[in-house]
A and B are shown apart, each in its own frame.
Chain A
């Protein structure tokens, strides 16, 4: 089987080692006999309807984000259609912010967003930096944890009734106050957690691959488990870091 990942702006949005997330998706697919190809989508490129089983948007510094924001907003309808059609999506940090309605800088200047995630982000005075631990329940009854690192000045406020990715066990999360982190819309996940996110949280990589496979219309038999000892160890250390030194106001 073949899956296609559309990687948005890899030249601009790559600040927190986003290629680690791509490497994990690629290898874990390959270990299940799935050939995963990654197609870069740059400024001016079209997001072709139905072409991607998974979309990935990473994080950038303010300057890079400002350079691509208008182009990303112009791709907004195509991205929302892809997700409505069942394509999986992972957006990290800057990508997560720009897939909301807007990002307002402290100067009052506003970067337009895509409006996929029901949230808006306002730049704050203090950066929220540190290790984070979340508890998630993406499938009813299946509680899992996510461990990562956050570094953002933006405070992201979810709309009433929006579904967060998880509850903050330790760390700041979306805005440092609500106790929630990230956002989920069907098969689309947005989060501030980098680290990168997927190597130490392989269950989320497998969840995204499962959604991508469904988008392809394949038989939804669960993936076989992989020997994830190193991944579990890395997760445990990262989770402990969050408990010991995760950020709070």
Chain B
């Protein structure tokens, strides 16, 4: 067996690699140092995490894990120093890198990839685990939804009895986990005025976990998330501990709601829009409370929160504003479309589809997105990315006029074309997949409009 390198030597080498990664311009050093350290010492993650005096908290979900973790960080950071993988590098290497990057951190706050959760949890032994939702996503990478759910059940079973489990009760698969852990906090929405008229086309988890009959929804809020009940066997949403009521959507500007918790109530105003951000805020609030934050901390942190990396981010370019909404799976894209349309449907949009591993090599998911409400309002559409033609077909076969679609392969050129078509003082909506979003950010960073993502950690 190879002799184990002292952790301190590996840490020094890996930190040097982070500097090198930024120096040669390959990135922010958000994964390379962790990869290197793991090579030098396969147990580095376990050992680095064990040094955190306040332990670690993990956040996972198909949609919203970056935002939920960023909101929780905003709540917790005035009280304690955090190691936090805020740029979304959420595999073992990314978590290890975040631990390396923050000296003297007290608490680890990590978003973790759905498929990597079980391994990271086994190694870090978190004192709190927040699970948001499970939607169909990148089936070429994760396999079927049920496989991810099975891994999550395993992670919950291995959780220390005293650790806090925070789950979204509105998701049947996720909410059910609360019944399997003694120390669980369940969050959800309670405001049927905001229920969707019907389950979306590609809803997941709509059949009873226990008996397979269709759930009956008193209210479906986002995809299959809502107040469900099986009329055959009685399986239903668990009782909610942390609840949003009295929700008021304010277009693209934000959303307000009454936050009900076991510790009391507060009126919350978020500066990010949409029901899905209410879910993110509830998850962050419940997680922070389970980690010892006060209700005032939660209230203040959520009010300060603006936007997470590439998620509803506004970038000012000259006298125009680019609004970036990351899209990566049907459920998330549906909410992006719904929020955009509710805020006043745009007349022009740029859609960007890449098919690298991080985007999902299988692009069929774009056909499950309900783009139609967005297309109804558009006068012109610019499609871009490596699979731009597929996006063009998606819109053509939705009945959008082919003559109003411009195919611009290069993401930078498409951004320029979009800006050219945007009137002075106007806004341009861009919906990119993950690697298209990274490329877009690189372009606007090089042009000096945003700070590089690794500098935002400060």
Contacts and interface: CB of A to CB of B under 8 A. Distances in A.
A17 B366 contact: yes
A14 interface: yes
A131 B397 contact: no
Given A149-B140, A151-B140, A20 B364 contact: yes
A20 B367 contact: yes
Contacts of B206: 11
A86 to B, nearest CB: 27
A200 B393 contact: yes
B407 A230 contact: yes
Interface string A96-129: 0000000000000000000000000000000101
A237 B364 contact: no
B397 A20 contact: yes
Interface residues of B, number: 34
A10 to B, nearest CB: 9
Interface stretch (B142-150, B272-280, B415-423): B142-150
Q: Interface range on chain A: under 10, 10 to 19, 20 to 34, or 35 or more?
A: 20 to 34
A196 B364 contact: yes
Interface stretch (B2-10, B263-271, B355-363): B355-363
A216 interface: no
B389 A233 contact: yes
Interface in B40-61: none
Interface in B373-411: 386-387, 389-390, 392-394, 396-399, 402, 407
B390 A199 contact: yes
A149 B355 CA distance: 12
Contact of B202 (A14, A67, A131, A238): A14
Contact of A27 (B140, B144, B367, B399): B399
A229 B402 CA distance: 11
A64 B207 contact: yes
Contacts of B311: none
A56 interface: no
Contact of A61 (B144, B366, B396): B144
B362 A234 contact: no
B392 A230 contact: yes
Interface in A1-30: 11, 14-17, 19-20, 23-24, 27
**B140, B362, B392, B407: which has the most chain A beta carbons within 10 Å?**
B362
Contact of B397 (A24, A62, A127): A24
Nearest to B213: A67
Given A27-B397, A196-B367, A200-B393, A67 B207 contact: yes
Given A67-B207, A67-B212, A149-B140, A234 B390 contact: yes
A61 B361 contact: no
9 contacts: A14-B202, A17-B368, A20-B367, A24-B397, A27-B399, A130-B140, A149-B362, A196-B367, A200-B390
Interface of A: 11, 14-17, 19-20, 23-24, 27, 61-64, 67, 127, 129-131, 149, 151, 194-196, 199-200, 230-231, 233-234, 237-238, 241, 245
Q: Which 6 A/B pairs are nearest by Cβ-Cβ distance?
A: A17-B367, A20-B367, A234-B389, A233-B389, A17-B364, A23-B397
